[in-house]
A and B are shown apart, each in its own frame.
Chain A
Amino acid sequence: MSKGGRLATVLGLFLVVVGLVVWAVASLLNPGVPGGVVNFTNSQAAGQPVQLTVQTVGSIGFGAHPSWVSYLVKNPTTGKWVHDTSWELPAHTVIDMTVYQYDSGSPLRNQEWGQVQGTIGDTATLNGTSFSVFNSNTGNGVGHTFAIPTLNVSVPMVGVSGNPCAVAPCHFDSPHNIEKFSFKTPGPGSYNWQCFVPCALGYLYGNGGAMSTQNYMGGELEVVSQS
């Protein structure tokens, strides 16, 4: 092979390696494609509380990552469970949230998230009983939190005992807790929400995978003015 040919071969191999590295890094960092936005702005009359119902599952059981933990939301129009964590909500409106928690729990890395914060009255109900602090070292611990950091909203999702539901959407015949709380949306804007339990099993510090990918353990609240 001529000198030029050898040079071209080396250069070509170098470019292939660089391309592979770039592709691998980009794939690793890609947060995934967020789903559509489930719209709650027309689910009730203007000024009336919005009913937002979600469930948490230990493993979603379908899609590209069937073993990943996830939130699902009930579409207010169809009443069906949707794997989507971006929700459009009306501004300056009370959101009555119901969470069906189908996952097990453990002690929190930071018990600060065992405290109910930022909800109306700084309280939530767990299976009908009001609470403001849950000691994650007791019972089944805390499985997840629903938190909107910029609004200082945080509610612990108490873990269930028994065999957690493994395929979403889960139903009442699986062990579950029901938690209810309300918060008020601020003015229009985009507000992220997330889980503060490092619940991505198998990932460094538990904060990779489902915790770092759109549409699983975090999403966006698109708060808009309601005409």
Chain B
Amino acid sequence: MTPESSMGSEENHFRRIVIIWVVLSIAGDLLFWFLVGPHIPPGRMTSSAKDDQLDFNILMVIGLPVVIGVFEWLAYAGIKWNARNKDTPESVGGPRAAGNKRAEVSWIVITSVVVIFLAGFGTVELYVGSGSGGGEGPNPILQPAGAVQAETAALAGTGTWSPNSNEVLPVQVIGQQWKFTYRYPTFGGFESSDLILPVNTVIAFNVTSLDVIHSFWAYQLEVKADANPQINNVAFTRTEQLGSFEVRCGELCGIWHGAMFNPGHVVSQSAFMTWATSTESKNAANTKILPPFAWTYVPDANGADGGYYPDNVVPYSPVEVYGSKQPS
């Protein structure tokens, strides 16, 4: 076999491989996008969940052709270029590819474009999604419209929210060994073990802890923010579907860490309003005793008769409740 005929065969092989690859990739991507993609976790309950599903699906659509290409090449090589076919031309690539500028440039350009596209896409998604449901710390850079006003008003005790108002709803998440509780500053600052959210509403989760580090992880909402003592970790999302979700602690926090979970519910705006106002009224007697709403609380009461809390310098005082100021 002359080098020319060998080269011609190689090109035929390559063309054949590329055609098969393109057909399989398009078919695989379309099947994935339309059949599997809509069911990829965490679902579409919130804007951040929807965005994450989109991100995953985009990654999959880019990655699937790579996987198909690798296995197709393997299969093709196994069939066409195995040791029994002694008169087959040498395989595409291998020593013949060394120094092939076209192959080298193509490889660098294609991989660079993929990586740079993903970096840009990820950054845009993070920006457009106001942090994509991740904790952004006490001074979030990426905030949805209206968040600053709502948070400022919540702290001042002047926050409002009503159905169809399109206002951001601040919700405080308080981690403690071993349960999350929730305060609603817009509704008098009542605290509850229930996490109920209105649909089609931007939620500002303000996550903190009274003891060790926990992590507020509302999986189906695609919200995850560490709960650190004396730090307000803010995460945003927008509820877009009715339904139930589960909150779990995502940080190993002690013996009952595995039991630190609770259900949550996204309900209609009117149902939320009914629940919030009735709970505000029902819990009013206890809300009066709670500390004034604040982003963080300093639990200088040890809860066990004094003297053993790490801030040992503070003497026991019957007025020391979480959120109270340290006595001077």
Contacts and interface: CB of A to CB of B under 8 A. Distances in A.
A214 B256 CA distance: 10
A192 B303 contact: no
B35 interface: no
Interface string B87-104: 000000000000000000
B234 interface: no
Interface string A171-211: 00000000000000000000010101111111111110001
Nearest to B284: A133
Interface in B277-328: 283, 285-286, 289-291, 299, 301-306, 308-310, 316, 318-322
Contact of A197 (B212, B304, B320): B304
Contacts of B322: 108-111
**Interface size of B as a range:** 35 or more
The SS class assigned to the A binding surface is loop
A115 interface: yes
A2 interface: no
B105 interface: no
A137 B290 CA distance: 10
Contacts of A115: 283, 285-286
Contacts of B319: 107, 137
B140 to A, nearest CB: 25
A109 B289 contact: no
B254 interface: yes
Contact of B289 (A137, A150, A152): A137
A100 B201 CA distance: 46
A213 interface: yes
A107 B301 contact: yes
A107 B309 CA distance: 13
Contacts of B178: 149, 194
A12 interface: no
Interface in A51-104: 104
Contact of A111 (B260, B289, B304): B289
5 contacts: A107-B318, A108-B321, A109-B176, A133-B289, A192-B259
Closest 10 CB pairs of A and B: A109-B303, A115-B286, A212-B255, A192-B259, A198-B303, A199-B304, A133-B285, A112-B191, A205-B211, A206-B304
Interface of A: 31, 104-112, 114-115, 117, 132-133, 135-137, 141, 147, 149-150, 152, 154, 192, 194, 196-207, 211-214, 218
Given A31-B255, A203-B308, A211-B177, 15 more contacts: A105-B305, A111-B289, A137-B321, A149-B256, A150-B261, A152-B194, A196-B176, A197-B304, A198-B211, A198-B302, A201-B304, A201-B308, A202-B308, A205-B309, A205-B310
